[in-house]
Amino acid sequence: MDIDPVQPSVKRGQEGRDPLGWGEGDETRAHERGKKGVDVDLFDEEDAEAEDELDRIEERLQELEIDRGVIDDGLGLEDEGAEGDGPGAGDGGGPGAGDGGGPGGDPGGGAGPRNAPDKIVPHPPPPQGKRSTVHFGGRAGEALNAGEPLTNNFTKYESDLSNARDPANEYHPFESKMDWDIGAWAKSHGISANALTDLLAIEGLADALRLQFRTSHQLDAIMDKELPPRPDFVRRTYTAGGEKHELYMRDSRQVLEELYGRPDFANDMIYTPEMQYVLVGEGEEDRVRSDMQTSSWWWQMQTRLEGIKPGATIVPLIVSSDKTQLTTFRNRSAYPVYLTIGNIPKELRRKTSLQAHILLGYLPVSNLASIKRDDLRRRALASLFHECMRDILAPLRDVAKDGFVMTSGDGVKRRCHLLLAAYVGDYPEQVLVTGIKSGLCPKGWLDSKQFGTQNACERRNHDDAAAALLSREDHPGNPRPYLDACAAEGVKPINAFWKDYPHADIFQSITPDILHQQYQGVVKHLVAWLKVVYGERALDERFKCLPANHQLRLFHKGISKLSRVTGTEHQDICRVLLAVIADIPLPNADDRAQVLKATRALLDFVYLSQYPEASTATLKQLDDALTRFHNSKDIFIKLGARDQFNLPKLHVLAHYVDSIKLFGTPDNFNTSYSERLHIDYTKMAYRSTNRKDEYPQMTLWLIRREQIRAHRTHIKWRLQNRPSLKSMPRAPLPGAPKLKKPIATNASEEYVSFAKAERLYGAENFERTFSETITKAKYPALTNNQVKTIAATLALPFHSVSAFHRLKFWHADALDREGELVQELPDSVKARPAYRDTQRRRAEGTFSTALVDERGKGDKKDFRIGQVRIIFSLTDTSRDALFGDRAAEMPTHYAYIQWFTRLPAHADRYHNLHRVQRSI
C-alpha cells in the first residue's frame, strides 16, 4: 500500500491524549533520546560464534557488492523470531494491501517516496473485469425529438422562476447566498416557525446578516410565490363501517413526470433493457443480474410492447406502502405510499438524501372497530385500501397501455409506458395487496401445511384472478357467481386496484424482502431455535466473550434478554453466530453436526441473496444452500426447538431465484428503504406540525422540502456556469470519497519509546523485529538467518517512533462490477492502547484483527490473519540515518503485526470455517 510521508509534529493528536502510563516526563525523555544515536560500542562484546557468522556474512555481502559500512551506522536487534510465523513489522503493510512480513518473511510494498508532492492522492480504480453487454436494440427507447435542439430541465426550471432583478444572482428569488443558506437550513432541519421568527427577532441579527426576510411567514411567502410550484396534495373522503376516512394524495402522473425529468439524474437514467455477461473461463460467459434493466421482466415487456407498437420506453413502477407509528404514545399512526422507478439505478434510488423516492399520499388509518365480525372487518379494510390505491394510481393506469410522451432531464422526449413492475412490502402488506387470505403464499398455490417442504409452488395466474374480480359486472343481480369465481382464484371479492392495470401481474410483482423475510423472519426463528438447542446461558456466555473488533457489535450482556430486537441487531448477530456456536458441545456428536450444517446453510442463503450482482453460478449456490438447510432442518424438531416448519417466511425463500431472474437482486426492493423513508416523509413531517389536523401541515412541509432540493440542484448548475448535461458530473453518491487519505497528517502519539511500544501497544520485541525488517528491506538477497545475525550486532539511531491509531483503506468491489456508481468500501484498522476518556474513565484499547496480503500481489494464497499492534513512522533524521541515499525509496510507514497461524488447507466439514490460533 502506498502511503504518503507524514511529517512529525510537536503537537499531540487529539485522539491519543493521555494514554495510560504516559506522562510529560516520559514524552520529554523519549523526545531527547530520539535525537541521539546509539553508541556502536554497546554491541562490541559478542561471542566468538557470532563473530564467525559475521565474517561469513561479510564475504557474502562482498559477493553481492553491498557496502558493509552502511550497516555499521546503527541498526541494532536482539531476540529471535519464528520463521515466517512471528510478529512482524510490515513495510507499509496494511490489511488487504502491502506486505506485512515478519522475521523470516519478505518485506513488501513500501510507502513510496518520502517527498511526495501531495499528501492526498487519488486512489486508483479497481481493475476492470471482462464483461459484455447485449442491448435490446431496435427502436426501444426511441427519442421522438431526435435532431431537434434540446433544452434541458435546468433551463426549464430557470424559466419558471419569477423575473430576477439581477440576472447574475444565482440564488434568485433569494437576494443573496446568506438568504438562501439560512432559508434552506430552516426548512431542512425541522426548525419551527416560532423558533425561526424568534431567532431573527434578536436585535441586530437580521440587519447584520442583511436578510430579506424577518419572520418565518415572510420566508414561506418567498417559497410559495416565487419558487416553481410542486404537485399539490388533495383530500378525498371515503365512507366505510359508518365512518368517514380521509386520503391525502397528489396526481401521481405529475409526480412521476417530475421524477423522470430530474436533470440531476439525466446522465444516469436507463431507458432500455440489456443482458450482461461476465467471462468465467476460456470462451465461457455467465449471465449476471443486478439492476432492473438486466433482468428478464424488462426484456419480456419490451418484446411485448415492440410487437404491438415499436418505439416504446418502459418506466417500471416500484410502489411501496407500510404503516408506521408517529408517536411512542397515543397510538398515532400514518400510512404513506411511496413511488420510484426502475430507470434510476439502484445505487441512487436507495440514497434517501437524493429523494429518488417520492411520496404519493397518506392512506387512511383505521381499524373499523364499528364492524364487529372479524371477517367482514378484514374485507372492509382491504376494500378501503384498494379503493384508495385505485384513485392514487388512476392517472398512471390510464396511460400505461398506449403510453404518453414524457421529457427526460436532458430534454429528450419519449413515448413512455408506466408499467406496474414491483410492489414492496412486508408479509401483511403483500397479503393485503394481492387480496389473498393471511397465511397463504402471495405468489403461488401451495398448501400452508407444505410450507416447510421443497414441494413445487404453482404460480398464481394474474389474468384468471383479474377475470374473476371483473366478473361482478357480468351478474349484476346475482353475486353468487362472482363470489364463487373469487373463491376459486383464492382472492377476496374486492375492487382490486390491479385488476385492470395494463400488463400487470400482481403476484409476480411481489418481490423478496431482506429485512422482514430474512433478518426479522428466518434469522429471528433460527436464533430462537438455537436458544432451545444450546440453552440461553451457553449462548450468552459465548457472546459475552467475543473480542472487540472493527464493525462487530459486542453483546456484553448476551442476546437472550434482548427485547424488540431490530433488523440491524439480527444482522449484527448473524455476523458472529456461526463462530459462537461452532464449539458448543451437544450430547450427541451427530446432532451437533446437523445443527451446524443447518445454521451454515441458512446463513449462506442470507448472505448470497444480498449480493449486489447475481450470476447463474450464484443462483445455483442459492438453491443449493436452501436444499442443504431442508436436508438438515429436522434436527431442530428432534431437539425440541420446533414441531413443524410451515412458516410463510421460510417458504418464500423458494421464490428468490425466480424473482432475481425476473427483477434483479433483492437490494432493489428491500423494505428497509421504506423504513428509512418514514423518518423523512412521515416522522420529521409530523414533528413539524402542532399535532392538530396534522396532515395538511405535513404535506405543506414536504412540498417546501422538495422545493429546497430542486432549487439547491439548480443553484449548483448556475454556479457551474450553466454547463451542458453531458459535461456535468454524474449524480454523486452521498459520501462517495473522491480523494483518499489513508493516514492522518499528524501522528496520534509523536514519541513512543520502544519500551512503551511493547508495554502499551503489546508489540513484543519491538526493536528486534523492526531491525530485522529494516535489514531485510535493505538487503533482500540475504537469508533469514543472515538477517538475524546482522541485526543482532547493530544499533538503531533512535529509541522512539511516531504512532498512528488508525489506518484507512478501501476495498475494491468484490464482484469486479464496473461503472461509476460502483463504490469502493471504506474500511479502517485501529491500533490504539488503553486510554482515559473525557470523563477520566478507563477505556480498553483496540487492536484490529485484519486480513493481510503478505506479498502485496492480490493472491488469496498469500492472505494471512494478523492483529495490528502499532502503526508507526520515523522522523526524516532517523530515515536518513537508517537508509542514507536510499531513504527516498524506502517505506515511510510501518505496521507491527502479530500473526495467527496460516489458514488450513481445508475448512471444517460441518460449519465450513477455518480454525486459527496465535503463532508462538
Cross-strand partners of 898: 867
Q: Where are the domains of the chain?
A: 14-123+738-899, 153-229+710-727, 514-667
Half-sphere exposure of 351 (CA within 13 A, CB side): 15
When comparing pLDDT for 637 and 859, which is higher?
Answer: 637
Question: CA 317 to CA 296: how far, in whole Å?
Answer: 16
Q: Determine the pLDDT at residue 87.
A: 54
Q: Determine the pLDDT at residue 795.
A: 84
Q: How confident is the model at residue 627 (pLDDT cuts 50, 70, 90)?
A: very high
Q: Determine the pLDDT at residue 562.
A: 92
Residue type, 352: T
Write the DSSP symbol of residue 780. T
Q: How confident is the model at residue 105 (pLDDT cuts 50, 70, 90)?
A: very low
Write the DSSP symbol of residue 865. E
Which residues does 625 contact at the CB level (< 8 Å), separation at least 6?
Answer: 601, 602, 604, 605, 608
Average pLDDT over residues 310-314: 97
Q: Which of 645, 79, 147, 166 is nearest to 412 (CA)?
A: 147
Cell of 694: 396534522
94-103, 484-493, 739-748 — which is least confidently predicted?
94-103
Q: What is the residue-averaged pLDDT of the chain?
A: 86
Cross-strand partners of 284: 281
Indicate the pairing of strand 274-281 with strand 358-362.
unpaired
Give me Rg for the CA atoms of the chain.
Answer: 33
Q: Determine the pLDDT at residue 59.
A: 54
Q: Which of 380, 666, 386, 385 is nearest to 501 (CA)?
A: 386
Q: Determine the pLDDT at residue 809.
A: 86
User: Is 232 a residue whose pLDDT tops 50?
Assistant: yes
Query: 345 with 667: CB under 8 angstroms?
Result: no
Residue type, 322: D
pTM of the model: 0.85
45-54, 123-132, 140-149 — which is least confidently predicted?
45-54
Average pLDDT over residues 349-371: 94
Average pLDDT over residues 841-867: 88
Cross-strand partners of 445: 458
Q: Determine the pLDDT at residue 812.
A: 84
Q: Determine the pLDDT at residue 189.
A: 87
Helix (H) or strand (E) holding 321: strand 312-321
Question: CA 43 to CA 767: how far, in whole Å?
Answer: 14
Beta carbons within 10 angstroms of residue 718's beta carbon:
16
User: Is 194 a residue whose pLDDT tops 50?
Assistant: yes
Cell of 705: 422540502
Q: Is the dihedral of CA 369, 371, 375, 379 positive or negative?
A: negative
Structure confidence by residue, pLDDT tens digits, 629-680: 999 999 999 999 999 999 999 999 999 999 999 999 999 999 999 999 999 9
Q: How confident is the model at residue 309 (pLDDT cuts 50, 70, 90)?
A: very high
Three-state SS letters, 366-418? CCCCCCCCHHHHHHHHHHHHHHHHHHHHHHHHHHHCCCEEEECCCCCEEEEEE
Percent of the chain's residues with pLDDT above 70: 85
Question: CA 616 to CA 287: how far, in whole Å?
Answer: 6
Structure confidence by residue, pLDDT tens digits, 690-715: 989 999 999 999 999 999 999 999 99
